[in-house]
A and B are shown apart, each in its own frame.
Chain A
Amino acid sequence: MVQYHPTPRTRKTLAFSQPMPVPLSSQKALREWRIYLFVIPSLFLVAIFSYFPAISAVYHSFFDWQGGDFKRFIGFDNFTRAFADRELWNSFFTIGVLVVANIFKLVPSIFTAVLIHRLISDKWQYWYRVLVVIPMIVPGLVTLFIWKFFFDPNMGILNNVIEGLGLKGLLVAMNDAMGWNVFREGLPIGWLSQPDLIIPSLVIWGFPWIGAVGVLIYLAGLQSIGEEVYESAEIDGANWWQKFVYIEFPLILTQIRLTLVLLIIGTLQGFGLQYLLLGMDGGAGGRGMVPGLWMFNRAFGAGQFGYACAIGMILFVFILGLTYINNKYVRVEK
């Protein structure tokens, strides 16, 4: 069993207590007005690069605009059209499935962080952290292309592993029993060319789903847990699982909530994976279409920039809603 031994760093962290921040009085704030000048360049850049495009998108969503100097005000027509756009709502269904799958894909990162945290040897803890971080150095595009190659029906590793382990026969038998029409004897599995396999492929992507950033965030949370908490748990006779359920998991919920928010926003906004694996049309049957890709498709494929802006607005409202729900209901009780 892996036992917990606090690292010297943890002890050091606990030894220094930070002074409480004192609220700034309005008089003092006015007296020190010069310091606000330092914020102006950053605010200026944020306004230009973040707020201006967003405001421009809101403005253009009310126009029939093909990306140039001609535009015609059409009120809420783009939004009305979007609400009747079957493709858009199908893409929201797809993204919904991916969001749920991605939430489950957080679990391996949490367990990896806990395992690294519980390692007795500082040296090994360090090396495992390095091992987790190394894949971050590989550019995302390279990872993506490697995975694309994994999915190749004829040469890909995935089909070779399935064939090698003799799982193909089982899949074909299941296919025949369930009437899926995706796994066939004598034909390699077309992970990205069979509509019904596209969403499963997107879910499988990134296996074993250990995200370096997630692991580091959880590790930071775990390392702030005081030694005395573990000592008390040991006196109470808590086993390794109880320590996880009653100590570690509740105390890293702040970090989990943060990653959850980032994950939901990232999944809803993202379309690079689908674009590179499946193309602008979302692959066979358009099954890989997600709202971001549909927005891109409408803007750069069909030249309907105004409508794409309206899709962006709808996406924004969705993300805002989900973030609100997440903040309101995923509460951290301390």
Chain B
Amino acid sequence: MKPMEKIMNGIGLGLLGICFVISLWTVGSRSFREATSDEVHIRFAHWQLESGLRDTIDVLAAEYMKLHPNVRITQMTIPERAYPSWVTTQLAGGMAPDIVELGKGVTAERIARYFEPLGDYIDEVNPYNKGTSLQDVSWRETFLDNMEGGTPGFDILMEYYGVPLSMHTVRFFFNAPLYREIMGDTPYPTTYTELMAFSERTLKWSKETGRNVVPIAGSQYNSPILMERMFASQTQRMSIRQDTTGGLRIGSGRFSTNFLQGELSWKTPELRSALELMQDVCKSMPPGFLQMMREDSTFYFVQERAVATITGSWDSTSLATQSGTELAVVNIPIPVPGPEAFGKFVLGPVSELGLNTSMPFGVPRTSKHKDVAIDFLRFLSSQPINTQFSALSQWLPSVADVPLIPALVPFKPVINGYQQGIIIPTLGADSQRAYSTNFHILADPKRGVDAFVEELDKRLPTAIKSDLDRSIKAAMESCGRRDGVLAAELHLAGITLEQPMPNQGRLAGFFEVQFEQERAAWSNITQLLELEKR
């Protein structure tokens, strides 16, 4: 080896060695610090990349760290599309952060398996509410919906696993100057007929001026929100007929089984009308909107290529910041009951009273600092901090007695109105897929309702069966998992199965849920078996 080569090799080896030592030091010192100091590191993961929210959480985390100097909170933001696979692998691998946002891949089944139940905490008061109107109220009851929105799949789990921080409503956003330019002094549409008049006028104006502006910015992300509302408007009356239990709510599970049993079909006048209405709405969206993603529709709106867009209150700050113009926020106009277009099956405007809280966070069982994580969630969901959260992020609060800032007033849930109709029967991933991959047929003006129905009739029954089968398995596994816990609770309470069940609060509640879930699963199994026989 030549001397020069030796020198160069020596330098290379030296650099490699230095890098290795630095890496070793960085990793080692961090591990050593964590092992020896009493610092508690809490990782807080979510997918909310909307403008203002991350900064808000940073501010609130800094306040918590001031109160608890031994705690360090790190915020982890994961893009929405990557979140389901990311969180699934983190949970399955036992590496999940200490606080994880629920939903988007964190299904009811995974919640039951991986997350800490909060039942033991929620009946206590939240210490951070001291000195407020909620200081003597249990943590659960401080939430606007008694914490029900905190757990996706609550109706299956009947246990509290998540702490919701916000609440969302969906609205139409109009670019106010552009709207005035096209519509003059005409008020913003409040009914479906007015919405269509706005749409026609915009399309005409676009042709006349050559400005290439569409009425509503649609995409794969936001068009389903509008479509769902339109569909539900047509099934309002029908849902009362279908609601045999008087619960004012029919889940897509019931709707799906009714569909399989032939009680409902696409020939049902209400459903047929719902499809026609959705086809009508498609005309107001840009051509090819089904290939567009969330960011595309936002781009259309902020670039003034669309006069309006439909999205949730979560996007209001982002839209205001990015568009830099005056925005008008309007409730979703649905058909008016009566002889007007699509009014035959409508009851009236939908009440948002039954709306649940959202943006829930849970604590995985693998967290080393469960108590601190839960304490941080208590802090975030206390009245003063939730007030701060709402004011800084401009997101609706989840806690009672939190005053709304003026910018949030248009998003305040509408209390007066009628119940929401049944939504499209998408029970799970397969029926959702059967519906969404064929929606292009409905949006195609040359094909339309009949062709769409023909395709759905071919694919939807198999898809619903597959989803139903999966939901039965999940319910049975959930019941199986709880059987042991219930047996232990019974044993501890000194109750035998021969004795009648005493009314022991939570224990009795657990049994009720267990029986109800088993009943629902067996009912679904029976239905599936009956269908197989046909």
Residues of A participating in the B interface, judged by any CB pair closer than 8 Å: 64, 66-70, 151-155, 181, 184, 187-195, 278-279, 281-286, 296-297, 300-304
**Chain A residues in 8 Å Cβ range of B290:** 190, 193, 284
B109, A66: Cβ atoms closer than 8 Å: yes
Contact with A along B424-462 (1 / 0, CB 8 A): 000011100100111110010010000000000000000
With A193-B440, A195-B440, A302-B428 as contacts: A68 and B110 at CB distance below 8 Å: yes
Interface residue SS majority, chain B: helix
Report the 5 A-B pairs with minimum CB-CB distance, sorted nearest first: A153-B288, A190-B288, A192-B291, A193-B291, A284-B440
**Chain A residues in 8 Å Cβ range of B293:** 279
**Chain A residues in 8 Å Cβ range of B436:** 281
Q: What are 22 pairs between A and B in contact, CB < 8 Å?
A: A64-B473, A66-B470, A66-B477, A67-B110, A68-B110, A153-B286, A153-B287, A154-B287, A154-B305, A187-B287, A188-B287, A190-B288, A191-B288, A194-B288, A284-B439, A285-B438, A285-B440, A286-B437, A297-B429, A300-B88, A301-B433, A304-B470
Contact with A along B188-229 (1 / 0, CB 8 A): 000000000000000000000000101000001000000000
**Chain A residues in 8 Å Cβ range of B159:** none
Q: For B105, B287, B466, which residue has the most chain A Cβ atoms within 10 angstroms?
A: B287
Interface residues of B in 464-488 (CB under 8 A from A): 466, 470, 473-474, 477
- Name the one of B88, B220, B291 contacting A153, with C-beta atoms under 8 angstroms: B291
**Chain B residues in 8 Å Cβ range of A296:** 85
Chain B interface extent, by class: 35 or more
- Name the one of B220, B437, B446 contacting A282, with C-beta atoms under 8 angstroms: B437
**Chain B residues in 8 Å Cβ range of A195:** 440
B92, A190: Cβ atoms closer than 8 Å: no
How far is A303 from B220 in the complex, measured between Cα atoms in Å?
22
**Chain A residues in 8 Å Cβ range of B470:** 66, 302-304
B84, A300: Cβ atoms closer than 8 Å: yes
How far is A65 from B107 in the complex, measured between Cα atoms in Å?
15
**Chain B residues in 8 Å Cβ range of A184:** 446
State the Cβ distance, A288 to closest chain B Cβ, in Å.
10
**Chain A residues in 8 Å Cβ range of B276:** none
B446, A181: Cβ atoms closer than 8 Å: yes
**Chain B residues in 8 Å Cβ range of A189:** 288
Q: Which residue of A lies closest to B477 (CB)?
A: A70
A301, B305: Cβ atoms closer than 8 Å: no
Q: Which residue of A lies closest to B84 (CB)?
A: A300
B107, A303: Cβ atoms closer than 8 Å: yes
**Chain B residues in 8 Å Cβ range of A68:** 92, 109-110, 113-114
State the Cβ distance, A125 to closest chain B Cβ, in Å.
27
State the Cβ distance, A68 to closest chain B Cβ, in Å.
5
Q: Which residue of A lies closest to B295 (CB)?
A: A145
B288, A193: Cβ atoms closer than 8 Å: yes
B474, A66: Cβ atoms closer than 8 Å: yes
How far is A195 from B212 in the complex, measured between Cα atoms in Å?
25
A285, B429: Cβ atoms closer than 8 Å: no
B428, A188: Cβ atoms closer than 8 Å: no
**Chain A residues in 8 Å Cβ range of B259:** none
State the Cβ distance, B527 to closest chain A Cβ, in Å.
20
